Amino acid sequence: MSDKRDYYEVLGVDRSADEAAIKKAYRKKAMEYHPDRYKGPKEEAEEKFKELNEAYSVLSDSNLRTRYDRFGHQGLDPRVRASAHNANPFDFVSQIFGMDFGDIFGGFGGQSRRSRGPTRGRDAVLEVYLTYEEAYSGVSKKITIPFKQGCKTCHGTGAEPGSEMSTCANCRGSGRVERRVQTGIFIQVSQEQCSKCRGTGQIPKKKCKKCKGSGYSSEKEKISVKIPPGVNEGEMVRVQGKGHPSRNGGTPGDLILRIGLKEHDYFQRDGLDVHMLLPIPFDVAALGGEIEVPVIGPPDEERFEKMKVPKGTQVFDTLVLKNKGFVRSYNGRDATGNMYYKVTIEVPHKLNKKQIKALKDYRDAS
C-alpha cells in the first residue's frame, strides 16, 4: 500500500472538483508556502511544494486523473510520479502566478541557471481589484511595489562602482553548489543556487557601500498607474521597468497588473454589456409607462435614464437601453455596450380600500 497522501487531500478539494477549482486550490496552497508567509523552515516548505506539485501535475491532467481515480497511486506509471515529484514546483507557480518563486527560495533542485552577461529582471504580476465604476471611467491607482528594488548605485550587481568582479570561490564560477542529505545508507545529492554569488558565479572584489553588496535597496517604491476606461476582468496592464530588478546589472523586468472586478450590488458585467434584475410595479407592467432605471457610470455619481416599459410586460422579459453600457476604445474607435434589464414584478405589501376594490372588480371582470 502506498504511503503517499491522497492527491485530493493534498490540494484540499473534493473528488468531484472541476479544473478551475483544482487550479484555484493549487494557487491558494502555493501561497501558503511563500517564504514571507510560511512559519516553518525553508526545507519543509520545499518538501510541501514537491508534494503539492506532484498532486497538481496529476489532477490537472485529465488522462492521469482518470487513471488515478480508478487505480490510485499504484495505477500511475512510477516514472510519471518521479517526474512530477522531482520537477521544479516553482515552474508551475510561475505559470499560474506569472512570477518566479524559485529565486525567492534561492534556487530549487538545480534549476537555477547562471547567465554570464547582464540579464533582464523578471516580470512581476500583481492583482488589482476595481469597482465597476472605476472600470467604467478608468482610474489612477497608487501602488506600493512589494518587492525589493535594485540598488541605484551598483545597478543590482552588488559591486562598488568601478570595482572588478572575481570568480566565486564557493561554487567555482558555476553558480550552483551541491547539497548532500544522508538518509540511512543512502545519500541524496542535489544542486542549489550558490548563496554567495546568488547564482551569477562572480562576486565583487569591493562591495557596494550603499547596499552592502546585496544589490537591492531597502526602500519600497510607490508609483501611480493609469488604468484605461472600460478595462475588464482578467486583462493586464503592463508598466515597463517596474518589475523585479536584474541580479547582474541588466534592465528591470516589467510590472504586470492583472485586473479583477469587485462584485456589484446589482450590476453584472458581460463584456461591454451590463445586466440587472429590475423590479417594476405591477400596474406599470400591465398598463405600460416610463420609469427611471440606474445605468453604469463613474464613481461617486449615481446615473439614471428614462426607459419605456411596454404594456403587458411579463416577468423575466428583458428590456434594453442601447449604448448605455461600458465604453472601450479600440484602435481609436469607441465601442459601447448596452444595459439589459430582466423584469420582475413588484407587488405592494399593503393596498387601500379603493385599490382593493379596483383589483376585485378586475378579477370579477376577467
Q: Domains of the chain, with CATH numbers?
A: 1-104 (1.10.287.110), 267-365 (2.60.260.20)
Q: What is the CA radius of gyration of the chain?
A: 30
More confident residue, 179 or 270: 270
Q: How confident is the model at residue 335 (pLDDT cuts 50, 70, 90)?
A: very high
Q: Give the DSSP H/E element, type plus range, for residue 179.
A: strand 176-183
Task: State the pLDDT at residue 291.
Answer: 96
Instruction: Count CA within 13 A, CB hemisphere, residue 352.
Output: 1
Asked if residues 57 and 91 have their Cβ atoms less than 8 Å apart, the reply is: no
Which residues pair with residue 244 across a beta bridge?
none
What is the average per-residue pLDDT within 346-355? 89
More confident residue, 38 or 319: 319
With a CB cutoff of 8 Å and minimum separation 6, the contacts of 64 are: 57, 58, 76, 80
pLDDT tens digit sequence for 107-126: 444 344 444 567 788 888 88
Residue with cell 467604467: 136
Mean pLDDT of the chain: 82
The pTM of the full predicted model, rounded to 2 decimals, is 0.57
Q: What whole-number distance in Å separates Cα of residue 320 and Cα of residue 293?
A: 11
Q: How far is CA 290 from the centre of its chain?
A: 43
Q: Is 119 in a helix, a strand, or coil?
A: coil
Instruction: Count CA within 13 A, CB hemisphere, residue 260.
Output: 7
Grid cell locating 225 = 498607474
**In a 10 Å sphere around its CB, with 0-12 CB exposed, 13-18 middle and 19+ buried, how is residue 60 labelled?**
middle
Q: Give the DSSP H/E element, type plus range, for residue 45.
A: helix 42-59
Q: Give the DSSP H/E element, type plus range, for residue 226.
A: strand 222-227
Q: Give the DSSP H/E element, type plus range, for residue 293.
A: strand 289-295
